[in-house]
């Protein structure tokens, strides 16, 4: 149930990892999850891992979230700088 997953990711973003496949592609759920825990990006559907704004949100919360971004974004200067800023 979407509402149950939404509440769960607001409490613990990594709950996204246990969501049903289609919910991992729900942008609103993924945004809520990465705001709570940037590493939750690892549980997102692949197309969302390539959404720059979403990856930036995740990296601002946890620099290591960049590890879960789609390949081309891993070399994005702004994302890399933000990741380093977060994790030193």
pLDDT tens for 27-53 read: 999 999 999 999 999 999 999 999 999
How far is the C-alpha of 18 from the C-alpha of 62, rounded, in Å?
20
Quote the pLDDT of residue 86: 87
Q: Are 33 and 8 in contact (CB under 8 A)?
A: no
- Per-residue confidence at 87, pLDDT binned at 50, 70, 90? confident
Quote the pLDDT of residue 44: 98
How far is the C-alpha of 63 from the C-alpha of 87, rounded, in Å?
5
Query: What is the pLDDT of the chain when averaged over all its residues?
Result: 96
pLDDT at position 74 over 80: yes
State pTM to two decimals.
0.93
């Amino acid at each position: 149930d979407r509402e149950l997953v939404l509440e769960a990711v607001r409490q613990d973003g990594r709950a996204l990892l246990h969501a049903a496949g289609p919910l991992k592609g729900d942008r609103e759920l993924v945004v809520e999850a990465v705001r709570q825990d940037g590493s939750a990006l690892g549980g997102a559907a692949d197309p969302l891992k390539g959404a720059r704004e979403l990856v930036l949100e995740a990296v601002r919360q946890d620099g290591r979230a960049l590890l879960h971004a789609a390949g081309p974004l891993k070399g994005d200067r702004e994302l890399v700088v933000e990741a380093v800023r977060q994790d030193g």
